[in-house]
Amino acid sequence: MDSEPTLRLRIDESALAANWRLLDRMSGTAAAGAAVKADCYGLGASRCVPVLRDAGARDYFVAHWSEVPDVAAHVAPGSISVLHGPLTAGDAAFARASGVRPVLNSLPQVRRWLESGGGPCDVMIDTGMSRLGLSPDELGDESLSRLDVELLMSHLASADEDSPLNARQLALFRDAIQRLGARRHSLANSAGIALGPDYSFDVTRPGLALYGGVPRGEFDGLIRQVGFPQAAVIMLRRIRAGDTVGYNATFTAQRDIPAAVVSLGYADGFLRCRGTDAALQFGEKRLPLLGKISMDMVVVDCSEAPDLREGDWVDIPQHLPDAAAKSGLTQYEILTVTGQRFR
């Protein structure tokens, strides 16, 4: 017999599918893939990957090898690319056995892949991130001519800005295409899709925007919220004038306050940087936070919601652009720090 959860996360599957279809249309002649790393940015691969598959996505990108099984349970392994590439001979053997494509990011990874027997792979070129990827001056290495490259890719560093770096990276990527043969090419992430058709190539790799993020103004009013977290009220109490609330007694009540203790804390990704003016919602009623956020609980003022009861569900505001502006976190962080206790 299972106990009842006190945290839950509703996934709007229709919004997720609509976001993918929008990004696919905005990709022009390119096909939109899907970045499904980090458990679909915290929203759950088991829920999101089938929706993306049924909407039409055919290319999936994870970061870690450990993320492959959760995605491969729903799509063909040959449609999955592992961005971190084969660090060990074991990684290469796993890729060959499963049919997953490694993304080769360095000459040692290229040699490791070839020594394992080779086969279809992807290659990352560093055009300005100084992160993963072969540098342009390594493209003449003879080992690259022996690769069977399905997807040649790079990653935009400043696509969320109108930065001259975007055009420089585009020029470097076009040069790499001329120097290294591949069946398909990919440069644009979510924000890069909004830069226009020059950046689309054959495959785009949206991530944040799939899950409700708005990385550029071109997406305002078009991208729909996907994740809707809620937490349960676990206790009601009355705080008297002069009482303090929470760690370090940072809040002192100036009047009697009807309050609720809610099953939500920084272990669930609701971090203290949400701010002292943060609030939860009960319907249209605002429930301001009182005192510091604890690991597993927050205390809220429910003066505006006199009908709130123990066991009721309250909403955690999660419109990503607004939450980011108020907390100082990025939209990526708000999504991916979601704790494991949500059901």
Give domain status of residue 334, yes or no. Answer: no
Give domain status of residue 290, yes or no. Answer: yes
Active-site option among 60, 199, 211, 247? 247
200 close to 28: Cβ distance less than 8 angstroms: yes
How far apart CA 215 and CA 205 sit, in angstroms, is 14
The pLDDT value recorded for residue 2 is: 75
Residue at which a domain ends, from 172, 195, 217: 217
Name the percent of the chain lying above pLDDT 90: 97
Instruction: Report helix, strand or coil for 36.
Output: coil
- Do both 209 and 233 map to the same domain? no
- 312, exposed or middle or buried, with CB in 10 Å at 0-12, 13-18, 19+? middle
Residue at which a domain ends, from 198, 217, 236: 217
Instruction: Report helix, strand or coil for 97.
Output: helix
Give domain status of residue 3, yes or no. Answer: no
- Do both 203 and 241 map to the same domain? no
CA angle centred on 192, ends 190 and 194, rounded to 5°: 90
- Do both 193 and 77 map to the same domain? yes
317 close to 288: Cβ distance less than 8 angstroms: no
How far apart CA 206 and CA 241 sit, in angstroms, is 51
Confidence of residue 66 (pLDDT cuts 50, 70, 90): very high
- Do both 63 and 210 map to the same domain? yes
Range of the domain at 300: 227-317
Give domain status of residue 254, yes or no. Answer: yes
Give domain status of residue 175, yes or no. Answer: yes
Give domain status of residue 169, yes or no. Answer: yes
Query: DSSP labels for 234-287?
Result: EEEEEEPTT-EESGGG-EE-SS-EEEEEES--GGGT--GGG-TT-EEEETTEEE
- Do both 246 and 305 map to the same domain? yes
- Do both 48 and 138 map to the same domain? yes
pLDDT per position as a tens digit, 249-286: 999 999 999 999 999 999 999 999 987 789 999 999 99
How far apart CA 112 and CA 121 sit, in angstroms, is 12
Active site residue 37: yes
Amino acid letter, residue 55: A
Region 74-80: what's the mean pLDDT? 97
Give domain status of residue 183, yes or no. Answer: yes
204 close to 27: Cβ distance less than 8 angstroms: yes
Active-site option among 37, 41, 60, 292? 37
- Do both 48 and 173 map to the same domain? yes
- Do both 89 and 55 map to the same domain? yes
Confidence of residue 122 (pLDDT cuts 50, 70, 90): very high
Confidence of residue 339 (pLDDT cuts 50, 70, 90): confident
The pLDDT value recorded for residue 256 is: 98
Active site residue 247: yes
- Domain containing 160 — which CATH number? 3.20.20.10
The pLDDT value recorded for residue 274 is: 87
The pLDDT value recorded for residue 113 is: 98
The structural domain count of the chain equals 2
- The per-residue pLDDT of the chain, averaged, comes to 97
- Domain containing 261 — which CATH number? 2.40.37.10
Q: Is the pLDDT of residue 95 over 80?
A: yes
Name the percent of the chain lying above pLDDT 70: 100
Q: Is the pLDDT of residue 314 over 80?
A: yes
pLDDT per position as a tens digit, 3-50: 889 999 999 999 999 999 999 999 999 999 999 999 999 999 999 999
- Do both 80 and 140 map to the same domain? yes
Q: Is the pLDDT of residue 161 over 80?
A: yes
- Do both 270 and 212 map to the same domain? no
The pLDDT value recorded for residue 334 is: 94
Give domain status of residue 6, yes or no. Answer: no
Q: Is the pLDDT of residue 167 over 90?
A: yes
- Do both 20 and 73 map to the same domain? yes
- Do both 115 and 210 map to the same domain? yes
